[in-house]
């Protein structure tokens, strides 16, 4: 008799979506000391993380994910956006070489065209984003991939204005025109609004005005929005609902918001005192519990929150402050940076089906296992 595990595994291929479940991970690779893509696949499967996002279309990664059953969103880097916008043939070639050549064995379910383009300093790049998205989408249509590959782009909080209280939020005036064109196109495609939301960065900007417990999902009085009469007990929900308010103001109130990046640094420069292993563990552990509840935000209670965590590894070659190189759940050697219930690479490579969830105890392991089975039975996917 086919067991529950196998039934769920097979059923995951009935309909491909860019994000199934609630929990995903950003697999950044700006480092010279992290495990190979094949080792990463083993680690992700052991941790039962199905939804994975990368920032390019590196063929060594696409090859490693072949046959894994993991859902992969690939990225068109910002440096290609202008070319793809002006040359539809180049967009068709890019999709043919990086998507069509790999599906369905490599389960590519999404293409993120650029990252944090709107709100950035390159105005020409901002103007080119719409054309790049349209040409990439048209390419997926020509290659009959549009029914299985979803097109998106991720925005930073820099596109938002008046985000406190959440109900007051609108899109900034200098991005509003490009944003509206893009949202109209995404509405036609059925794509979500993707937001990179970091309570860590918001707290670092205003530590004197923000309760760190509010940023970390810890118990706190929270924030009350007088206009909507909604209470927020954590900052991430407030940031997401600010985006929903901006979407409503722009006339796109039915668009879903998905968090494509969020996380907390475990180390930083002297002026980044909140970047500690304890705070990083608290944020990511509490976020994992928050997502496991499978509920929405106060403004959208019926729209289950989905988030890609940033990031899988500490990336030693990233520029900027020390915090930028210390967002990983894992150290470069594949051991956990701090414990939120995931196995390390050594335990995931041992061949044992009895993985070690160090530090959280058998009761938490049992809870995680039951949660996986529940998700599988109720939503036809295996991983969180």
Alpha helices in the chain (DSSP H): 4-11, 37-46, 59-64, 81-86, 88-95, 123-142, 173-189, 199-205, 212-215, 235-249, 277-292, 345-348, 361-379
Q: What angle do CA 226, 229, 235 make, to 5 degrees?
A: 80
Residue 7, pLDDT above cutoff 90: no
Q: How confident is the model at residue 349 (pLDDT cuts 50, 70, 90)?
A: low
Residue 352, pLDDT above cutoff 80: no
Structure tokens at 329: 């759940």
Q: What is the pTM of this model?
A: 0.87
Digit-coded pLDDT (tens) for 151-172 = 999 999 999 999 899 999 999 9
Quote the pLDDT of residue 138. 97
Between CA 302 and CA 300 the distance in angstroms is 6
Picking from 205, 123, 189, the residue whose alpha carbon sits closest to that of residue 153 is 189
| Signed CA dihedral, 179, 184, 187, 191: sign only | negative
Quote the pLDDT of residue 348. 65
Q: How confident is the model at residue 350 (pLDDT cuts 50, 70, 90)?
A: low
Residue 368, pLDDT above cutoff 80: no
Quote the pLDDT of residue 370. 35
Q: What is the mean pLDDT of residues 242-255?
A: 97
Question: Do strands 307-309 and 23-26 pair parallel, antiparallel, or not at all (unpaired)?
Answer: parallel
251: alpha, beta or left? (left if phi > 0; alpha if psi -120 to 50): left
Question: How far is C-alpha 177 from the chain's CA centre?
Answer: 25
Q: What angle do CA 116, 119, 124 make, to 5 degrees?
A: 90
Residue 83, pLDDT above cutoff 60: yes
> Regarding predicted confidence, which is higher, 157 or 8?
157
67: alpha, beta or left? (left if phi > 0; alpha if psi -120 to 50): left
Q: 19-349: what fold?
A: TIM Barrel (3.20.20)
State whether residue 28 is helix, strand or coil. Answer: coil
Q: Which residues are catalytically annotated?
A: 116, 261
Residue 324, pLDDT above cutoff 50: yes
Q: How confident is the model at residue 19 (pLDDT cuts 50, 70, 90)?
A: confident
Whether a cis peptide bond, with omega within 30° of 0, leads into 104 is: yes
Structure tokens at 374: 């529940």
Structure tokens at 23: 């929990």
Residue 58, pLDDT above cutoff 70: yes
- Segments making up each domain of the chain, as ranges: 19-349
Question: How high is the mean pLDDT of the chain?
Answer: 88
* Residues 326 and 263: beta-carbon distance below 8 Å: no
The DSSP secondary structure of 213-273, one letter per residue, reads: HHHTT-S---EEETTTTEEESSHHHHHHHHHHHHHHHTT-TTPPEEEEEE---S---TT-T
Digit-coded pLDDT (tens) for 164-217 = 999 999 999 999 999 999 999 999 999 999 999 999 999 999 999 999 999 999
Hey, what long-range contacts does 86-92 have (CB within 8 A, 24 or more apart)? Answer: 86/128, 86/131, 87/135, 88/135, 88/138, 88/139, 91/132, 91/135, 91/136, 91/138, 91/139, 92/135, 92/138, 92/139, 92/142, 92/143
Between CA 219 and CA 133 the distance in angstroms is 41
Query: Which residues make Cβ contacts (< 8 Å) with residue 377, sequence separation at least 6?
Result: 4, 8
% of the chain residues with pLDDT over 90: 84
Quote the pLDDT of residue 346. 80
């Amino acid at each position: 008799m086919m067991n529950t595990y196998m039934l769920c595994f097979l059923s995951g291929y009935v309909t491909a979506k860019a994000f199934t479940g609630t929990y995903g991970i950003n697999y950044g690779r700006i480092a010279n000391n992290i495990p190979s893509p094949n080792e990463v696949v083993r680690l992700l499967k052991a941790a039962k993380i199905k939804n994975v996002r990368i920032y390019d279309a590196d063929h060594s990664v696409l090859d490693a994910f072949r046959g894994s059953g993991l859902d992969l969103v690939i990225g068109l880097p910002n440096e290609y956006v202008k070319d793809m916008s002006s040359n539809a043939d180049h967009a068709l070639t890019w999709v043919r070489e990086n998507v069509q050549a790999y599906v369905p064995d490599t389960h590519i379910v999404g293409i993120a065209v650029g990252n944090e383009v709107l709100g950035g300093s390159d105005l020409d790049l901002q103007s080119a984003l719409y054309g790049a998205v349209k040409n990439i989408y048209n390419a997926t249509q020509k290659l009959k991939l549009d029914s299985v590959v979803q097109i998106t782009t991720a925005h930073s909080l820099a596109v938002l204005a008046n985000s406190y209280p959440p109900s007051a939020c609108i899109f900034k005036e200098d991005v509003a025109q490009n944003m509206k064109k893009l949202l109209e196109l995404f509405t036609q495609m059925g794509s979500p609004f993707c937001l990179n939301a970091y309570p860590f960065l918001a707290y670092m900007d205003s530590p004197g005005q923000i309760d760190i417990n509010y940023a970390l999902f810890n118990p706190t009085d929270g924030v009350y929005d007088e206009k909507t009469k909604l209470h927020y007990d954590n900052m991430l929900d407030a940031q997401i609902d600010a985006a929903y308010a901006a979407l409503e103001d722009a006339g796109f109130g039915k668009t879903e918001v998905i968090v494509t990046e969020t996380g907390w640094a475990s180390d930083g420069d002297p002026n980044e005192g909140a970047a500690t292993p304890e705070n990083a563990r608290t944020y990511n552990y509490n976020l994992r519990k928050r997502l496991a509840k499978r509920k929405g935000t106060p403004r959208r209670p019926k729209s289950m929150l989905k988030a890609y965590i940033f990031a899988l590894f500490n990336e030693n070659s990233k520029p900027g402050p020390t915090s930028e190189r210390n967002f990983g759940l894992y150290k470069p050697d594949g051991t956990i940076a701090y414990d939120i219930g995931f196995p390390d690479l050594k335990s995931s490579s041992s061949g044992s089906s009895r993985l070690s969830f160090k530090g959280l105890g058998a009761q938490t392991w049992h809870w995680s296992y039951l949660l996986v089975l529940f998700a599988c039975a109720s939503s036809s996917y295996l991983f969180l």
